[in-house]
Amino acid sequence: MDKVGKILAIDDNEDILFSLRLLLKPHVEKIVTLNQVSLIAETLKNEEFDVIFLDMNFTKDAISGQEGFFWLNKILEIDPEAVVLFITAYGDIEKSVRAIKEGASDFILKPWQNEKLLATLNSALKLRKSKKEIDQLKSRAREINNMMNRTFKEFIGNSTEMQKVYTSISKVAATDASVLILGENGTGKELVARALHSNSNRAEEAFISVDLTSISESLFESELFGHTKGSFTDAKADRPGRFEIASGGTLFLDEIGNLPLALQAKILTVLERREVIRVGSNKPIPIDIRLICATNMPLHQMIEDGKFRQDLLYRINTVEIDLPPLRERYGDVPLLAEHFFQIYIKKYKKPLRGFTKESLKRLEDGDWPGNVRELQHVIERAIIMTESEWINPSDLQMRILNKPSEELELDNYDLDKVEKTIIIKVMKMHQGNISKAAVELGLTRTSLYRRMEKYGL
């Protein structure tokens, strides 16, 4: 078996240190021993260790264990991720439990049993490896986040609808309040989540995004809460889950409305207890996350239908941000089109001059069921395929708003009354089906509900 792990043993008893060297040398890559606590700081600054054995009582304070607690705190100041194992006598069990609370990973009783000490060391090495993996994942996530935040530094859009979104972001970003982002697919829900994170007190920590629709039900707990080696067939090593990796930063759960009720209950338990338990373990791991969720589903209606837990909704929507669909963002289409135009003429190195008036008019008349994402794809395709120096209407492969098949008779031109008349007409057409009426009117269900409430319908 390969030797793994660099070990530091600290004890003022040379016999203890000799015994540890003799026992561990065949099993570990390196073991360093210290018989003077005054050398701890210098040793840790010059070298990193996977596991540290620390005696609880030294000659200056042979009984109380206070010197051991003092040096435990010093070690954790130098390396907050250090894995420390206390070496303690049978009579020190109560102090050992306190040591665990103060940051030690475990304790070993003197006189020890060799097999038990090696088993404890093996668990400690796995813990150290897991902590390193989490640090690496967080570091990688921070790099990706910085890149993403530079790419999407600012939203594109000056419409009144988007100004409301900007105001909400500025009010809630600096808090730790849970945020629920509502909106159709392609409206930019993850962009809002990233803006909330990058303007929060957690901006320097990880932003972990999870598409809940991409995780199978059988792997849900493993992916989100982590697992231990051997807990299921393919679990070949201990692995932290997304909650654990995001601890200290922001966790973004996209498409939370698609979760089955049983999985909603598991998410709720973690949020209530602020801790996760890896699959195959019974040890709770504390987490500290800022939670942001998003969905295109009507959660409030789903609660009435018994498809979403009301107690979970209370946990995730301290603040709701409702993203408008592109068809309701009056005046933003030309701005977005120009933004994507500049990106893709550089990407594909095509010296195009811009859009014709007719092509801009066609874009503004678009239905945009895929919202900003669809507009982006339409512009990219047009730039790739055009053979002209201008983007013409024929280059734009897109849907145009359906024209009414029959004239609507109006007896006045008061806009509120006109809107109310149209809503009544469409609701009758679809026999009160909110979803179908919303699609026909080019609105979200939420927007239609608001208008119906406004007009007392």
| Residue 160, pLDDT score | 85
| Residue 104, pLDDT score | 82
Are 383 and 348 spatial neighbours (Cβ–Cβ below 8 Å)?
Answer: yes
| CA–CA distances in Å: residue 405 to residues 56, 209, 408, 454 | 85, 44, 9, 27
Largest CA-CA distance found in the chain, in angstroms, rounded: 102
Give the model confidence (pLDDT) of 165-201 as tens digits: 999 999 999 999 999 999 999 999 999 999 999 899 9
Which DSSP category does 35 fall into? Answer: S
| Residue 365, pLDDT score | 84
| Residue 1, pLDDT score | 47
Question: 218 by DSSP, 3-state: which?
Answer: helix
Q: Which domains does the chain have, with CATH numbers?
A: 6-128 (3.40.50.2300), 152-322 (3.40.50.300), 328-395 (1.10.8.60), 415-454 (1.10.10)
| Residue 150, pLDDT score | 44
| Residue 423, pLDDT score | 83
Are 294 and 252 spatial neighbours (Cβ–Cβ below 8 Å)?
Answer: yes
| Residue 109, pLDDT score | 80
| Residue 253, pLDDT score | 97
Low-confidence ranges of the chain (pLDDT < 50): 1, 62-63, 147, 149-153, 402-406
Residue of 26, 30, 37 lying closest to 1 (CA atoms): 26
Q: Which helix (H) or strand (E) holds 286?
A: strand 284-286
Amino acid at 289: I
Cis, bond preceding 26 (omega within 30 deg of 0)? no
Which DSSP category does 251 fall into? Answer: E
Token code pair at residue 21: 């060297």
| CA–CA distances in Å: residue 399 to residues 56, 338, 369, 403, 414 | 73, 19, 9, 12, 30
Residue of 229, 182, 210, 191 lying closest to 289 (CA atoms): 210
Scanning 38-92, the segments in alpha helix (DSSP H) are: 40-46, 66-78
| Residue 408, pLDDT score | 54
How far apart are the C-alpha atoms of 260 and 256, rounded to whole Å? 9
